[in-house]
Structure 1
Amino acid sequence: MGYSRGGTADGPGSIQYLRLQRGSSRSDIFPKLIAMQKSLKARNFAVFRITGAGLPNKRKLVCELENWGTGAGEERVRLLHEVEDILLDHIEMSLLPLIWNGSGAASVANAGEFAPLIRRLEPTGLSFAGLVFPVRLGALGNGYVAFFGDQLELTADLVIEQHVHSSQIMMDLLALDERRSVPSESLSEREITCLQLAGDGRISEEIAEKLGLSVHTVNAYLGSATIKLDSVNRIQAIAKAIRLGYIT
């Protein structure tokens, strides 16, 4: 992210962080976005992912989730027409949130001492104000979580908190894609059990003793699970199994 307020070891690359990112269904993700919307006093939200990365003139924003409601198609089209190019360029250079004022009485509140770490867009011609959080998780996980309304209430702590939640939302969507690409029967019950215990910090000897297996058999289960999860080592396999929801 484009700012830091006292980092921890449980960052996006850590096993502990991934334990919080267990794969969800879209029906589980939607309430999380509603809660974020209420915190920001926003009227609508939308989650966009970027497709066509690396292909000249092929990048575009694709809406994954939204709650615009029926009859709001014109607003969605106008939003993309006004700011799509800006968003596509911005995420290549920065992970700072972007805000803009709407026309008329609509506006975005200033973020106080946090204002220098938010990019404010020039008038967009949109009737509603907006706040968008960029998330960059690799080619398939790059995009924005966006909120729209009239008077968006912003504070430094709230912006940081909702940006973290935005990254979690995008990780959940990415995990859903990965789960669909891995057959549900790909991991056996024994493989999952061994991965779970390994993820809990047990070494092979301890896992073998707990399950009544030989160390060789435990390593065989962990090795086959690593291969099935298309991982280069046990640590990566554990991380991916957590992300896909096989283990916790």
Structure 2
Amino acid sequence: MKDTKGKNDTAKRQGRPVSRADFFPRLVAMQRFAHARNFAVFKTNNSGLPSRRKLTCIIDNFASDGDVAASEILDHYSQALLDHLEISSLPLLWNGVEASQTAETTDFAGFVKHIKPNVLPVSGVAFPVRLGGMGNGYTVFVANYFDLTSEAVVDLHDRSHQLMMDLLVLDERRSAPDEVLSSREISCLQLAGDGLVSEEVAEKLRLSVHTVNAYLAAATMKLDSVNRIQAIAKAIRLGYIA
């Protein structure tokens, strides 16, 4: 059986998030930096067919009694967000009705794209992240009024990218196979990841080449990978090796 508590303890010691709740402080910090009112994280469903792709909200802090909800953003802008995600990595911006506007500085225009305004009673900015599959999505911030510089937009986009990468790693850890990698499997993966061939790994660990290959094959299977290279990459993302 999977040692979930042990993995969570290891992740905590290494400073990695163990649940989506761990992302709230980072999002709140980004919200304050943007002088925003609310935030949301949208992710794609990883459907192979464009017509079946959709965005779902996985984290948000919109109040139930507020004048707009994360679901309303998806109701109005989901298709525009999905279409944009296919062709561009520029942030998307929309203006709300009446006094809900966005300041336009001289160095701002090249950093964003505008989508249909005057639909919701708040302005919004959405930062796209494309990591492939379930790593695709947006971090979204809304406010009555935005006054962001290009430097702030770039900074928020960079932090959005890192946040989505960490979310992807968290999801991969959750979907990892039940068996936990053994210390020998981890050692073999680490040395293989350092560029050593099986014979060199065997010499380092004082094992036979056959045993090293058996450990690497077992680790590859446990990590649900198609080959050793993919297993090493996944082990790095999951924090098994450096």
TM-score past 0.5 threshold: yes
Contact 2:220–2:228, Cα closer than 8 Å, also in 1: yes
| Cα gap change, 1:93 to 1:80, in 2 (>3 Å) | same
The Cα shift of 1:54 comes to: 4.0
Q: How far apart are the structure 2 equivalents of 1:73 and 1:123? A: 16
Unmatched runs of 5 consecutive residues or more in structure 2: 1-13
Contact 1:99–1:130, Cα closer than 8 Å, also in 2: yes
Q: Which structure carries more relative contact order (alpha carbon 8 Å, separation 6+)?
A: 1
Q: How far apart are the structure 2 equivalents of 1:234 and 1:21? A: 27
Aligned to 2:92: 98
* 1:175 and 2:145 aligned: no
SS of the residue aligned with 1:164? helix
The Cα shift of 1:138 comes to: 2.2
RMSD: 2.9
Aligned to 1:123: 117
> What is the 5 A alignment of 1:149-188?
149-188=143-182
Aligned to 1:16: none
* Alignment counterpart, residue 80 of structure 2, candidates 76, 86, 97: 86
Aligned to 1:3: none
Aligned to 1:36: 30
Contact 1:42–1:147, Cα closer than 8 Å, also in 2: yes
The Cα shift of 1:37 comes to: 1.5
Please report the TM-score for the alignment, with normalisation by the length of structure 1: 0.78
| Cα gap change, 1:52 to 1:198, in 2 (>3 Å) | closer
Aligned to 2:10: none
| Cα gap change, 1:206 to 1:75, in 2 (>3 Å) | same
Please report the TM-score for the alignment, with normalisation by the length of structure 2: 0.79
Q: How far apart are the structure 2 equivalents of 1:27 and 1:247? A: 25
The Cα shift of 1:219 comes to: 3.5
Unmatched runs of 5 consecutive residues or more in structure 1: 1-19
> What is the 5 A alignment of 1:1-248?
24-51=18-45, 53-55=47-49, 57-72=51-66, 74-110=68-104, 112-200=106-194, 204=198, 207-208=201-202, 210-248=204-242
- Output one character per residue of 1:78-135: Cα deviation in whole Å (capped at 9) or x when no partner: 3222212211221122221101122233222325424223102242321111110112
SS of the residue aligned with 1:99? strand
Contact 1:24–1:172, Cα closer than 8 Å, also in 2: no
The Cα shift of 1:203 comes to: 5.5
Contact 2:111–2:150, Cα closer than 8 Å, also in 1: no
Contact 1:196–1:247, Cα closer than 8 Å, also in 2: yes
